[in-house]
Structure 1
Amino acid sequence: MTVGRPCEVQSCALPYRVQDGDKVEVLLITTRRTGRWSLPKGKISRGLSFAASAAKEAYEEAGVLGEIGSMSFASFRKTKRMEDGRKHVIEVWVYPLKVTRCLPHWPEQGQRDLRWCSRDEALVLLQDGRFGDAVRLLRC
């Protein structure tokens, strides 16, 4: 029997806000490499919980701060193609982030586009259906 390498776990934030009392909007970002719409995600930072790592990614990639949920509400595995052509399996844990502040400056500003949109619009823009599944599962 062959045993494969364990997959890398990443944490993902699903930034959202509620407008006019009940209208939920989610914040999408573009990836740096392909420019596709996505959600802030990345490797688990040493010394941080999965949830805190997700909040850190949202700050670095989208310039937002807020209340991060302590429990992941969605997870999935995906294959990521590396720059050298190799494929790498990652497991992504998604955490809700209720945005309380949008910053004027952040670490990856200018490297990505940001877009607040309705859930329905997000489902159209997100080409990776697994991110769309997370948008559908979000409970505010």
Structure 2
Amino acid sequence: MKPIHGVGAVVYRIQPDGTIEILLIRKRKGFWSLPKGKLKRDEPALEAIVREVREETHVTAEVVDMLGSIDYLISGPRGQQRKIVDYYLLRAIKGRARPTGGSEQIVAVDWVPLAEAIDRLQRPRLRAIVRAAQTLFSG
């Protein structure tokens, strides 16, 4: 079975005092996570992640760098399937972060200081992606 390909983002902004904040989302019945989604047919990954961030958070952002990929198994209607998500670092340009609700089921969106964002993420693979972004900020 062909793997499912997706894109995800660590979206950041820098406050006037230099604090780096990361944009986190929470879905209904879920925990804090990073924006992500599936590519549409023939959609380039960089366009897809900008679209997904805008759809899920109302924030317009630009791609800065590639952070890495996460490869894992999910259980779905067709049984176990491999999912590969390519994560990118995006800089917020404009927009007031707010949940979309509706079919996306995003119930909360929050700008969180970098260290707190790492603590708030429950999945180790997502914490690793944010730590990869953190090395770009300090380097």
TM-score by length of 1: 0.81
Greater helix percent: which structure? 2
User: 1:46, 1:86 → 2: CA distance?
Assistant: 23
1:14 and 2:15 matched: no
Hey, what does 2:68 align to over in structure 1? 74
Conserved 8 A contact 1:55-1:65: yes
Q: Which amino acid aligns with 1:22?
A: G
C-alpha distance in structure 2 between counterparts of 1:47 and 1:21, whole Å: 41
Q: Distance in 2 between matches of 1:105 and 1:127?
A: 21
- CA shift for structure 1 position 126: 0.8
**d(CA) in 1 for partners of 2:50 and 2:74?**
22
Which structure's residues are more often strand, by fraction? 2
Give the alignment of 1:1-140 within 5 angstroms: 5-20=1-16, 22-32=18-28, 34-69=29-64, 71-82=65-76, 84=77, 86-103=79-96, 108-109=100-101, 111-112=105-106, 113-138=108-133, 139-140=136-137
- Structure 1 residue 86: deviation in Å? 3.5
Structure 2 letter corresponding to 1:68? V
**Alpha-carbon distance in 2 for matches of 1:41, 1:56:** 10
CA displacement at 1:105 relative to structure 2: 7.1
> 1:89: Cα distance to partner?
2.0
Distance 1:19 1:30, change over 3 A: same
- In the alignment, structure 1 segments of 5+ residues that lack a partner are none
Task: Tell me how large the CA RMSD over aligned residues is.
Answer: 2.2
Task: Report the Cα distance in structure 2 between the residues aligned to 1:116 and 1:103, rounded to whole angstroms.
Answer: 10
Against the structure 1 CA distance between its residues 124 and 43, is the aligned structure 2 distance closer, same or farther, given a 3 Å change threshold? same
How far off is 1:21 after superposition?
5.1
Percentage identity across aligned positions? 28
Post-superposition offset of 1:41: 0.7
